[in-house]
Copies of this chain bind each other. A is one copy, B any other.
Amino acid sequence: MIDSNFVERCDNVVIHEDVVNKVRDQMPEAEHLYDLADLFKVFSDTTRVQILYALDLSEMCVCDIANLLNMTQSAISHQLRILKQVSLVKNRRDGRVVYYSLADDHVKKILDQGFAHVIE
C-alpha cells in the first residue's frame, strides 16, 4: 500500500510525488534506455531472429540463408546490413562469397533469455 500524500490533481502534476522523485533518481540514464530499446528493435523482426539463430549453428553465406528462409537474396542482404551495423554479426569474404557469423556469444545470451520466456 502506497501511503504518500496526494499532492496535486493528476492531470496537472503528480499523485505520489515522493514515489516519482525516488524512481526518477534511481532510473538509468534516459540515453541508455533509448539505446536499449534500439537494441531490442533489432531483435524484434522474425527474419532477423531466424538469421541470428541460423548463424549460431553455422557460419553461412547470404545465398544459403536466403534459401534456408525461403526469401529473396536482397531481403536477406538488407537485414544482414542492419545486423552488421549494430555489430551483432561479422563477415568474411572468400572469393565472390561472403560468409556471415555471430559477432560474439553475447548475442546468443540475449536470444536465449527471451527464448526461455517464450517456451514456458
Contact = CB atoms under 8 A, between A and B. Distances in A.
A16 B60 CA distance: 9
- List the number of copies, as a whole number: 2
A64 B19 contact: yes
- Which of the four size classes fits the interface of chain A? 35 or more
Given A23-B54, A28-B53, A54-B23, A117 B39 contact: yes
16 contacts: A10-B63, A15-B63, A19-B58, A20-B68, A23-B68, A33-B46, A36-B111, A36-B114, A36-B115, A36-B118, A39-B117, A40-B43, A40-B44, A40-B114, A43-B43, A110-B114
Interface of A: 1-2, 10-11, 13-16, 19-20, 22-24, 26-28, 30, 32-41, 43-46, 48-50, 53-54, 57-61, 63-64, 66-68, 73, 94, 97, 99, 106, 109-111, 113-119
